[in-house]
Structure 1
Amino acid sequence: MILVTGGLGMIGAHTARALADLGQQVVVTAHRSTAVPSFLEGEVVVEQLDVTDRSAFLELGERYDVTGIVHLAGSIPGDDPVAYFRTDTAGLFNALDAARTWGVRRFAVASSLGVYIGQGESPWHEGIPLPAVELPHLIIAFKKAVEPLTTHALQGSGVQPVILRIGSTWGPLMDPESPFNFVPPYVSAVLQGETPDPLYAEDGGDSCYAPDAGRAIALLMTADALNHETYNVSSGRPLAHRELADALQQPCKSGGQANPHLDISRLRADTGFVPEYDTAQAVAHYVAWRSGNAR
């Protein structure tokens, strides 16, 4: 059985569904809301858990034969950065403690494409140096710290670490007014009958539809062998804003320049991952989902 913490969030829920589709038994944790999205109903076991509670976390191992952990649980920073770091570090340490105690096969943890900020080379691949630059957000700072904490904590344990440098992911269950990705708010405006501000046609950058991101993570957890500890998780191609506008029949402005995107050669080589959705298919799927769901 594979444990997915934060398994009812956007990436977690799609990861859990992909694991179930691959024939895995899955238990997901959620801290506050345990409302299960329709695509997960009957597919997973749900446990309400505060991942900062070490005893409660370790008790899961008494009820389930957990063979792998995908740690995606996290909080949103408030006004106190120390409180945010304390909370999410406690959750990470408890997950690592559980991985070592239970002797799981693999421990995957969410990092971010934000660790590459400041690196001018594009596309971003796992072998390029990570720049020592000021980071724009507390979440990215924490994700960058997660990587060495995880690999060092698991050394000599027999547990294989899998660092997930997750790209700019959007899709069902994301906050439709999210400040972290412009696609859901743009789609929301169209669905509400508004005309969003025209996008620059050539602007864009990394993008991955959530069901594809979940399937990539599931493949990393179930592959017979992995040749690396760190993997980019995304579509492997930049999303040009003209593609999004065309899919929603909206006008564009000429000009713009794409931002870097993630190279997924490692992911593809070790798992055979190929994205299922192109931009038009992702937009159509998301619009259909939003027609019956608030987020």
Structure 2
Amino acid sequence: MILVTGGLGMIGAHTARALADLGREVVATAHHRAAVPSFLSGRVTVEHLDVTDRDAFHAVTERHGVRDIVHLAGSVPGEDPIGYFRADIAGLLNAFEVARVRGIRRFAVASSLGVYLGHPATPWHEALPLPATESPHPIIAFKKAVEPLTLDGLRGTRVEPVILRIGSVWGPLMDPESPFNPTMPYLNAALRGERPPPVPADDSGDACYAPDAGRAIALLTAAPALRYPIYNVSSGRPRTGRALADAVAAAVPGVHPELLPGGTPGPYLDITRLAEDTGFAPDFDTAAAVAHYVAWRAANPR
């Protein structure tokens, strides 16, 4: 049995589905979110769990005979960053304790492409030294701390840590007006019949469709053996403003996004390690991802 904390969130739900597609038994936990996505209904076991509750975390793991953990649960900072750090660190430490006490085989945990911010090299790959720069957001600050905490917290045990440096993921179940990913408000302006704000044609950066991200994490969790403790999770290719605008024009009738000339190539994640160790390749290019998302939203609010 594989435990996916935050298993009804965007990345967690797509990870749970991909694990089920691989034939694995999955228990997905959720705290605030109760709605089970249609693509998970009847395919996974769902448990309510506040990961800051140490005893409840142990109980869920024991009850289901969990052997692997994918720890994706997390909160969103409000006006009190200390409260955010306290809650998410408590959940992380509880997850470590469960992994150590119960002899978990593999422990995968979410980090972020944000750990590379400030590094001039592109694409960003796992062997790069991480810049000691100020974090632009508390979530990135926490993710930078997750990595050494995980490696040291599980050191000396038989638990195999896997750090997931997750890229710029978007897609079904994400807040349509998410402030964390510009793809979402851009697409949802188009779905309202509005022209999205113009973007430079040659601007580019990291982008990964949620079903692809979930499948990558599932493959890393289920792999018989891994060579590294850290893996980038994304599409492995930059997406341009032109590609996004063309995909929206093709998928949303009557909407013709405006492009600005020029643009700046941005950083994106290298997924060579992921591809070599799991055979992963993305199923969705930009056009396929936008078409799939538009079809999803026709029947779903987010």
Could you state the TM-score of these two structures normalised by the residue count of structure 2? Answer: 0.97
Give the Å deviation of 1:62. Answer: 2.6
Asked whether the 8 Å contact 1:167–1:206 carries over to 2, the reply is: yes
Aligned to 1:41: 41
2:117 aligned partner, one-letter code: I
Q: Which runs of 5+ in 1 are unaligned?
A: none
Q: Deviations over 1:94-138 (max 9, x none)?
A: 111111111111000000000001100000000010000111000
Secondary structure at the aligned position of 2:296 is classed as helix
Secondary structure at the aligned position of 2:202 is classed as coil
Asked if 1:278 is matched to 2:285, the reply is yes
Distance in 2 between the 1:243 and 1:290 partners? Answer: 20
Distance in 1 between the 2:261 and 2:45 partners? Answer: 49
Asked whether the 8 Å contact 2:196–2:258 carries over to 1, the reply is: no
Asked if 1:262 is matched to 2:262, the reply is no
266, 288, 291: which is aligned to 2:295?
Answer: 288
Asked whether the 8 Å contact 1:16–1:26 carries over to 2, the reply is: yes
For residues 1-295 of structure 1, what are the structure 2 equivalents within 5 Å?
1-249=1-249, 250-295=257-302
Q: Deviations over 1:53-99 (max 9, x none)?
A: 00010011331110100000000001111111100000000111111
Asked whether the 8 Å contact 1:34–1:46 carries over to 2, the reply is: no
Give the Å deviation of 1:204. Answer: 2.0
How many percent of aligned residue pairs carry the same amino acid?
67
Distance in 1 between the 2:148 and 2:184 partners? Answer: 32
Secondary structure at the aligned position of 1:38 is classed as coil
Q: Deviations over 1:152-211 (max 9, x none)?
A: 111111000000000000000000000111111111111111111211101120000000
Distance in 2 between the 1:146 and 1:12 partners? Answer: 18
Give the Å deviation of 1:33. Answer: 2.2
Give the Å deviation of 1:274. Answer: 0.3
Distance in 1 between the 2:258 and 2:9 partners? Answer: 32
4+ long deviations beyond 4 Å:
none
Secondary structure at the aligned position of 1:194 is classed as coil
Q: Deviations over 1:16-74 (max 9, x none)?
A: 00000000000011002221000111111000011000001001133111010000000
Aligned residue pairs, count? 295
Asked whether the 8 Å contact 1:112–1:166 carries over to 2, the reply is: yes
Distance in 2 between the 1:11 and 1:109 partners? Answer: 12
Q: Deviations over 1:246-286 (max 9, x none)?
A: 01112311110121000000000100000000000000000
Asked whether the 8 Å contact 1:30–1:50 carries over to 2, the reply is: yes
1:12 aligned partner, one-letter code: G
Distance in 1 between the 2:119 and 2:37 partners? Answer: 37
Distance in 1 between the 2:146 and 2:62 partners? Answer: 27
Q: Deviations over 1:209-267 (max 9, x none)?
A: 00000000000011111000000000000010100100111231111012100000000
Distance in 2 between the 1:62 and 1:173 partners? Answer: 29
Secondary structure at the aligned position of 2:301 is classed as coil
User: CA-atom RMSD, angstroms?
Assistant: 0.7
Asked whether the 8 Å contact 2:202–2:241 carries over to 1, the reply is: yes
Distance in 2 between the 1:169 and 1:62 partners? Answer: 32
Asked whether the 8 Å contact 2:3–2:61 carries over to 1, the reply is: no
